[in-house]
Structure 1
Amino acid sequence: MKKFTEKLSLQWRLTLIITLLMTVTCILMYFFISRSAVSGIENLSDYIIQIDQADSSPITFNINPSSLFPGLSDQVQTTTDIFRTQSIIATIIIILISSICTYFISYHALLPLRKLSQKVNETEVQNLSEPLELPDTNDEISHLTSSFNRMLARLNDAFTAQKQFSANAAHELRTPLAVIQTNLEVFARKKNPSYEEYNEIFGMLQEQTGRLSHLAEILLDMTGIQTVERSDAISLAALTDEVFCDLASIADRKSVELIQLDGDCTVTGSYLLLYRAVYNIVENAIKYNHSGGKVTVNIRQAKEILPSSSQSIPTDCAFVEVSDTGIGISSEYQEKIFSPFFRVDKSRSRAMGGAGLGLALVNEIAIQHGGLVKVLESCKKGSTIALILPFSAQV
């Protein structure tokens, strides 16, 4: 029975439910009214006359109507049968009329829902940016349409970002492949390549395949962030100290001094992801620094309004502030640098082996931990980028 009703339309389900309710109600009313009426009719067979006098005992006369009116019992029985039959017929007619009315009323009541369903079916990837027309009412259909439009807007933003990301990723992958293909075609035309030319072509292949491998690794990291468990208790000072140890050789080659100020905060999250986030920020600060410059990390606690806060209430957060003495970031680029594949100076980034995904990965890691990353300040003398994390991971 349950499987049968699940296959029915909402209109038929409403009709059946209301019909069942009307049937039960009519049957109960029938039994109540019919029983009362029949009992009243049957009491005519014993009619009692009672005379009360003030100064004497009551005088009662028991009269049998059958003796006074022959055939009365048959007439009462016939009247009772007719009443019952007519009551049953009237009940059935009322139930049928109510069911038919319910069917047509529910059809008109569900008509806006049918129109909404038709419009939803017409929605494709190509027209996600076109919201549905909002009914000029304040009912559930209007609220549902409004919610669907908000979902469409989010989907459109997600598809647009994914499309842009895919296009950028394809471009980044195509560039080294095109370099490899061009160099191999030129090399193939040489009849007697020299030893130096072999070394040159192998060096080029090693460089470009390394670049491809690095890009593929970052892309895989970005797609797997959502599935990583975020339940570790992490000392940000200890994590930063480990990052400094791993980047010491790069800093030495650049003659950049790494400085970690006193201060610590403990947050809940994924150690591997937060390590990668801090590593990428510090590595960028080293790469785009001047020779003989400094990179300073300051860990402190402060209040910040996070994007996930529905009530926009300042939340206690841990700040990992990475300051450098580098080239600075123009104000027009301070938000764009966290977008995938964005580079302020493309030629400089490519020369340093960057794929434009380092800070984008940091941004995604921060979002997955319920936090954010942003540029606190920047000028020609350097920049300060802060990784801001709530003390409890927001899964």
Structure 2
Amino acid sequence: MKFYSEKLSPRRLSLQWRLTLLISGLVITACALMYFFISRSAVTGLEGISDYVVLVTPDNSNPISINVDPKILIPDLENQIQNTKNNFLFQSMIATGIIILLSSICTWFVTRRALTPLRRFSDRIRQVQAQNLSEPLEVPLSEDEISRLTRSFNDMLARLDNAFSAQKQFVASAAHELRTPLAVMQTNLEVFYKKSEHAPQEYDRLFTMLQEQTGRLSHLAEILLDMTGLQTVERSDTISLAALTEEVFCDLDPVADKHQIRLIQTEGDCTVTGSYILLYRAVYNLVENAIKYNRPSGSVTVNIHSAESAVLEVTDTGIGISPENQEKIFDPFYRVDKSRSRAMGGAGLGLALVSEIARQHNGQVKVTQSSEKGSTIALILPKSTDY
């Protein structure tokens, strides 16, 4: 019994059969109601035949009414009426059944024809693979629901194609970044292994190199884990950007002293709602980046103000960013100066992480000003009343 119940379950029926059954049910209900009311009315009319009243109007006189009992005139009247009722009910049932059967058959063919575009659309969807996401489906000219569904599906394909392309690029870049320190370690170990005797300085150089490269790998793995876990972090903290910046300055003060950079925070504050941990990381990366790529004895200034949104601007006194690189610097693993970035231990993910954190908070980060005297990068976030 379980097998038959599952086999006949409505969930296992096609859309065409479900529409056919639904419309057939409506037709059956309508025919049943019509059969009931029409038959009831006809039968009641037949049963109401009892007496006839005959009016006789002689010339120049008042009409005379004569009551005539039909049973006297037609002794077998009751049997004839009953037979007529039975025949009427039987014929009505036959006609109703034929109407229902024909309506169901017509409904099946009509729904089959109406669902043909949807069936074609389904067949085309089955042919979509990861390799042909860039090939949109042909949009029907009917301008109906199927046409709108096809356009929406093409939009989804475009988003998926962009996401897959970005993911492929990200994976390729990550593999390249991971391969570089591994290749350095492998090469140095092979050279070290080929020598039969080693001086103490060679051991020191080898261990220093291994420590640097493993630290670089650990730093890269940490950033990659941070980027993959952003969506799960709770973003309900009420945050003062001025207090957050003070904490960032306190933590980066030794780094600034090492590079002889002054950290300056102007007056101004704004409150936003989000994740304190993530926004701290975003501001930290912006300020750290401004310190590393600054001129000696330069400065990093953070200015916080609000208009329609909360704006945190980080201004440095570095060499500036060329216009063609001002948007690319927020892409993962992109470096303006690759040799300098590698020398400083950068993985090319700091600003990409800032961009993703801003996006997770319904904000954005962008270069607002850049010249030979320095650059300004703005972190723009919705204020607490807007978030």
Scaled to the shorter chain, the TM-score interval is over 0.9
Say what the alpha-carbon RMSD is for the aligned residues: 1.9
Report what 1:339 is aligned to. 331
Matched, 1:163 2:164: no
Report what 2:352 is aligned to. 360
Displacement of 1:73 in angstroms is 2.3
- Preserved contact between residue 326 and residue 383 of structure 1 (Cα < 8 Å): yes
Matched, 1:79 2:111: no
Q: SS of the counterpart of 1:136?
A: coil
CA distance in 1, matches of 2:336, 2:276: 29
Displacement of 1:58 in angstroms is 9.2
Equivalent AA in structure 1 for residue 167 of structure 2: Q
CA distance in 2, matches of 1:214, 1:327: 26
Report what 1:192 is aligned to. 197
CA distance in 1, matches of 2:270, 2:46: 90
Q: How does 1:1-395 map to 2 (within 5 A)?
A: 4-49=9-54, 61-302=66-307, 316-392=308-384
- Preserved contact between residue 260 and residue 296 of structure 2 (Cα < 8 Å): yes
Equivalent AA in structure 2 for residue 384 of structure 1: T
CA distance in 2, matches of 1:116, 1:47: 69
- Preserved contact between residue 370 and residue 394 of structure 1 (Cα < 8 Å): no
Equivalent AA in structure 2 for residue 143 of structure 1: R
Equivalent AA in structure 1 for residue 78 of structure 2: S
CA distance in 2, matches of 1:231, 1:21: 52
Structure 1: give runs of 5+ residues left out of the alignment. 303-315
- Preserved contact between residue 299 and residue 318 of structure 1 (Cα < 8 Å): yes
Classify 1:392/1:129 alpha carbon distance in 2 versus 1 (closer, same or farther; 3 Å): farther
- Preserved contact between residue 218 and residue 357 of structure 1 (Cα < 8 Å): yes
TM-score of the aligned structures, taking structure 1 as reference length: 0.93
Structure 2: give runs of 5+ residues left out of the alignment. none
CA distance in 1, matches of 2:94, 2:140: 43
Aligned length: 380
Classify 1:205/1:51 alpha carbon distance in 2 versus 1 (closer, same or farther; 3 Å): farther
CA distance in 2, matches of 1:348, 1:92: 87
Q: SS of the counterpart of 1:233?
A: strand
Sequence identity (%): 66
Displacement of 1:132 in angstroms is 0.6
Equivalent AA in structure 1 for residue 198 of structure 2: P
Report what 1:306 is aligned to. none
CA distance in 2, matches of 1:301, 1:258: 21
CA distance in 1, matches of 2:315, 2:347: 22
